[in-house]
A and B are shown apart, each in its own frame.
Chain A
């Protein structure tokens, strides 16, 4: 059961790999074999798993679902690293790190100078983020019914919305609609970036890594390399749109634009970004930057970090501690639930703040009935404990991860920064963290830990952590 499902996902990963294969054949850059071998291998594996391990049962237990999700992600990551290895670009550990940074849309990279890498490999890198963005599992959701089981549980495990919002009664329809929105945004991005002056290859790559809020670039200077206000604005808009809950696009498409715009999480998300933009721009202006440039840099960096994308147009690490603090905070809060962004998600942040306020309030009114409401809906008490547990685990994971990184001889700052950048799926943080050379020089075990943290961040902790409990493996 698990095998057949994971097989299908890996097969799908192989299918995606046909795109750079074709590109490589057309361009004739000699990497065709590097794509052909893993692509057909994955397709063959998927086909075998589908045919031989198929089970005619519609029941999927919760633990199967968690296992499928995590194994699929790791499996695709493994297949995805093969082209880097076979082409001789990276060693196995670096390749796996790069691949997982792609599929989790973290965007942390060990490749310092993308300009020297073959375009087909760059395309694969961007494509892995694009595929990871919508979620391999979302693809899986559309394919799963073919395998023969209901996918409701899977959807709830993958989407991990704190407040699950079912768009249509059938999960497959939902997945189709979300995929449509995602592709639409990507196409729009390609057109906009081309119009703004990017060449088609760069436009495609950046559109894919923008919509997935991944942050891989084809240039070592990231977006700054283009030095074009128009491109920055389009990329910023793309990241902003991708950081919103995709369910809202569905609502808007259904003619309920007003309701979508009235979404509390969206409003808070936009307000946080506006506040971050104002603060960073004000600090830059104070520091002698001209006004339009201060606003431009402040806005781009705020959007890029709070959505967990990690594109850069300016050296924000030299912006002074206030701006850095604000940006790191926004990175931790992250984007909206149901988006491709990272962080703990705005909805959780809002609910945590409300919960904390209620605790203070209850000192004055011990008998008060303090319901947690969000957008007019009452959050069940069961979910309240889930939020609190999530937040505790998030902090605990940060602490443990930081300690593990210090074991590798890193100073405390970069140790925390590297873990934080992976857990919040931004791929960048203070100091040297985020530079390709920083990640490249880490020992292999440290890369494994960071890869695990990317997965933890992408799958929002619980899904991965449950596999680490003895209870999970008990018969």
Chain B
């Protein structure tokens, strides 16, 4: 497939890397000369300099031969015009990143029919949704939903006092019909075997039915009290959307925003939350607002460094769960060292969304993890290598595991003896290098 990506920022570059890694031919267009030069050095793609919304530039990029246009610059209007121009030159599918909700109402056909955007990525909304879904499951640092909400993969970080530390995976006392599908240790993903021994600070991924997720988390996490009070640093789009959704969940929220005018806007939108106009870094201020009593501290300013430092500071002052929004890939390995519990990356969420769109039809869903692992939700086709044989007999790659099978609405945690049938929906957890092989196994 040929893909044209407009905008070589974090989202664009990441999407380009991922798509070219999947074997697609990628063209990237950006206006910034320096960025173009840097990107072309790191990317296996054609990188062009120019205005991606200009029909002439798009023609030079041979957009008419492409199957997909991805417009992910920082400016909504540029993205919209790029989609319109691409549609007019016959590109079948377009994806646009939109910040301003005015341009996109999922219930109205305006953005698709008039503005020519087949799929809209709203990173701010995705980040806010992601954080609220984590806060809904106390003890979890990440919750991913598959198979229309029936299956969940939940990520927890083991603390020293967790009952699971020092135990082999097969000995961990998990509730029935749940499974440890992956462990990320020091940034590397392992697919655990029965004798893999869990260590403190391991990120453990467990799969289960949605309704039992708290039970499963409770089995390995000691401190799983629900979040009642949350503090949000940064009243930008993400902060506001998050505060709105936490308000709906009944969480009491304090939002800290530096800009007085923006703080007033945020206060006008929120009903019960307390909006504070402050930089949010001074110790006196944070203690006066009882950061030490907060169950969660979430830093989502536009600046990664501020987020990381603020989360670290909050942790130091006694806040419970700390969450930081990190848009630049370079910083994410630091988060664990800084004592930040969860980092949320708009870049990764956007790339995941683009991948889901590109693969629509073949697979139901895919989720990218920072460590390069993927969680893939797919349907078993009629004729493929995994059908009709016990899983143990399939030459399954070492870096992948079938975590759950949904057969006629029935949730099954498969063992080596189980046989997959056509029409089953399965969730596969795979390290990055094994993704291709998994896809080949499930290819018709």
B264 neighbours in A (Cβ, 8 Å): 369, 371, 378
Q: How far is the CB of A101 from chain B (nearest CB, A)?
A: 43
B274 neighbours in A (Cβ, 8 Å)? 365, 368
* Cβ–Cβ contact B268 & A378, under 8 A: yes
Whether A385 sits at the interface, judged by CB under 8 Å, is no
B247 CB-CB contact with A under 8 Å? no
A residues within 8 A CB of B268? 371, 373, 378
- How many angstroms between the C-alpha atoms of A367 and B277 in the bound complex? 5
* Docked CA distance A248–B143 (Å): 48
Give the complex CA separation of A367 and B264 in angstroms: 12
1/0 per position for B245-286, CB-CB distance to A under 8 A? 000000000000100100110111000001111100000010
Q: Taking the nearest CB of chain B, how far is it from the CB of A461, in angstroms?
A: 29
Q: Interface size on B (CB < 8 Å)? A: 15
Q: Is B437 an interface residue (CB 8 A)?
A: no
Q: Which of B277, B285, B288, B289 contacts A369 (CB 8 A)?
A: B277
Bound CA–CA A369/B262 (angstroms): 10
Does A367 contact B278, Cβ atoms closer than 8 Å? Answer: yes
Minimum C-beta distance from B262 to chain A (A):
10
Considering only residues 70-84 of chain A, those with a C-beta below 8 Å from chain B are: none
Residues of A within 8 A of B260 (CB): 369
Binary per-residue interface labels of chain A (351-381) against chain B in the complex, 1 for a CB within 8 Å, 0 otherwise: 0000000000000011111110100001000
Which of A365, A367, A369, A370: most chain B Cβ within 10 A?
A369
Q: Complex: how many Å from CA A368 to CA B264? A: 10
Q: Please state if A365 and B267 are interface contacts (CB–CB under 8 Å).
A: no
Chain A residues with CB under 8 Å of B289's CB are 365, 367
Give A378 to B275 CA distance when docked, in angstroms.
14
Chain B, range 213-260, C-beta contacts under 8 Å to A: 257, 260
* CB contact between B276 and one of A365, A371, A373 (< 8 Å): that residue: A365
**A371 and B267 contact, Cβ closer than 8 Å, known pairs A365-B274, A365-B276:** yes
What chain B residues lie within 8 Å of A371 (beta carbons)?
Answer: 264, 267-268
**A377 closest partner in B (C-beta):** B268
Report whether B267 and A367 are in contact in the complex, using a CB–CB cutoff of 8 Å. Answer: no
Q: Which residues of B contact A368 (CB under 8 A)?
A: 274-277
* A373 surroundings in chain B (CB, below 8 A): 268
For the complex formed, measure the closest distance between the CB of A277 and the CB atoms of chain B, giving whole angstroms. Answer: 31
| CA gap between A365 and B267 in the complex, in Å | 14
Q: Return A365 CB to nearest CB of chain B, in Å.
A: 7
Nearest-Cβ distance from residue A13 to partner chain B, whole angstroms: 45
- The CA of A367 and the CA of B281, in the complex, are separated in Å by 13
- Of A367, A371, A373, A378, chain B has the most CB atoms within 10 Å of the CB of A367
B281 to chain A, nearest CB (A): 12
Separation of A378 and B266 alpha carbons in the complex (Å) = 11
Interface string of A329-367 (1 = CB under 8 A from B): 000000000000000000000000000000000000111
CB distance from A383 to the nearest CB of B (A): 14
Q: Which residue of A lies closest to B255 (CB)?
A: A369
User: Could you say which residues of chain A place their CB within 8 Å of the CB of B285?
Assistant: 367
> Closest CB-CB distance, B304 to chain A, in whole Å?
24
Q: How far in angstroms is the closest Cβ of chain B from A367? A: 4
Residues of chain A contacted by B288 (CB below 8 angstroms)? 365-366
Least distance between B321 CB and chain A CB atoms (Å): 23
Instruction: State the Cβ distance, B268 to closest chain A Cβ, in Å.
Output: 5
A457 vs chain B, min Cβ distance (A): 33
* Chain A residues with CB under 8 A of B278: 367
Which residues from A are CB-within-8-Å of B267?
A: 369-371
Q: In whole angstroms, what is the CA distance A370 to B276 when docked?
A: 9
CA distance A370 to B260 in the complex (A): 11
A371 to B269, CA, bound (A): 11
Q: Report the separation of the CA atoms of residues A370 and B274 in the bound assembly, to the nearest whole angstrom.
A: 8
Q: Which residues of B contact A370 (CB under 8 A)?
A: 267
A418 to B106, CA, bound (A): 63
**For window 274-326 of chain B, which residues contact chain A by CB distance below 8 Å?**
274-278, 285, 288-289
Query: A366 to chain B: which residues have CB within 8 Å?
Result: 288
Cβ-closest chain B residue relative to A366: B288
Chain A residues near B275 (CB-CB < 8 A): 368-369
Closest chain B residue to A370, Cβ basis: B267
Query: Which residue from chain B places its CB closest to the CB of A371 in the assembled complex?
Result: B267
**What residues of chain B lie closer than 8 Å to A367, measured between beta carbons?**
276-278, 285, 289
* Complex alpha-carbon distance, A14 and B171, angstroms: 99
A365: which B residues are within 8 A, CB to CB?
274, 276, 288-289
User: Which residue from chain B places its CB closest to the CB of A364 in the assembled complex?
Assistant: B288
The CA of A60 and the CA of B29, in the complex, are separated in Å by 59
What is the bound-complex CA distance between A366 and B266, given in angstroms? 17
Tell me the minimal C-beta distance from B230 to chain A in angstroms.
Answer: 16
* Distance A56 CA – B288 CA, assembled complex (angstroms): 63
Give CA–CA (A370, B277) in the complex, Å. 10
Q: Could you tell me the distance between the alpha carbons of A291 and B55 in the complex, rounded to whole angstroms?
A: 83
Q: Given the complex of chains A and B, what is the CA–CA distance between A366 and B278 in angstroms?
A: 10
Chain B, residues 405-435, CB within 8 Å of chain A (1/0): the string is: 0000000000000000000000000000000
**B276: chain A residues within 8 A (beta carbon):** 365, 367-369
> A322 vs B306: C-alpha distance in the bound complex, in angstroms?
58
| Chain A min CB distance to B427 (Å) | 43
Nearest B-chain residue to A381, judged by Cβ = B264
Q: Which residue of A lies closest to B268 (CB)?
A: A378
With the chains together, A371 CA to B272 CA distance in Å? Answer: 12
Residues of A within 8 A of B257 (CB): 369
**Bound Cα distance from A365 to B275, whole angstroms:** 10
- Minimum C-beta distance from B236 to chain A (A): 15
CA distance A366 to B276 in the complex (A): 8
CB within 8 Å of B: which A369-419 residues = 369-371, 373, 378
Closest CB of chain B to A85's CB: distance in Å? 56
A373 to B257, CA, bound (A): 19
**Which residues on A sit within 8 Å (CB–CB) of B277?**
367-369
Chain B's nearest CB lies how many Å from the CB of A78? 48
Nearest Cβ in chain A — how far from B407, in angstroms?
A: 48
B278 to chain A, nearest CB (A): 4
Alpha-carbon distance A370/B270, docked complex (angstroms): 12
Cα of A369 to Cα of B257 in the assembled complex, Å = 10
Q: How far is the CA of A365 from the CA of B278 in the complex (A)?
A: 11
What CA separation (Å) do A373 and B285 show in the bound complex?
26
B435 to chain A, nearest CB (A): 47
Q: Can you sample 12 A-B contacts with CB below 8 Å? A: A365-B276, A367-B277, A367-B278, A367-B285, A368-B277, A369-B257, A369-B260, A369-B263, A369-B266, A369-B275, A369-B276, A378-B264
Q: Known contacts A367-B277, A369-B264; can you find 8 more A-B pairs with CB under 8 A?
A: A365-B288, A367-B278, A367-B285, A368-B276, A371-B267, A371-B268, A373-B268, A378-B268
Nearest 3 pairs of A and B residues by beta carbon: A369-B275, A367-B278, A369-B267
Interface on B for A, CB 8 Å cutoff?
257, 260, 263-264, 266-268, 274-278, 285, 288-289
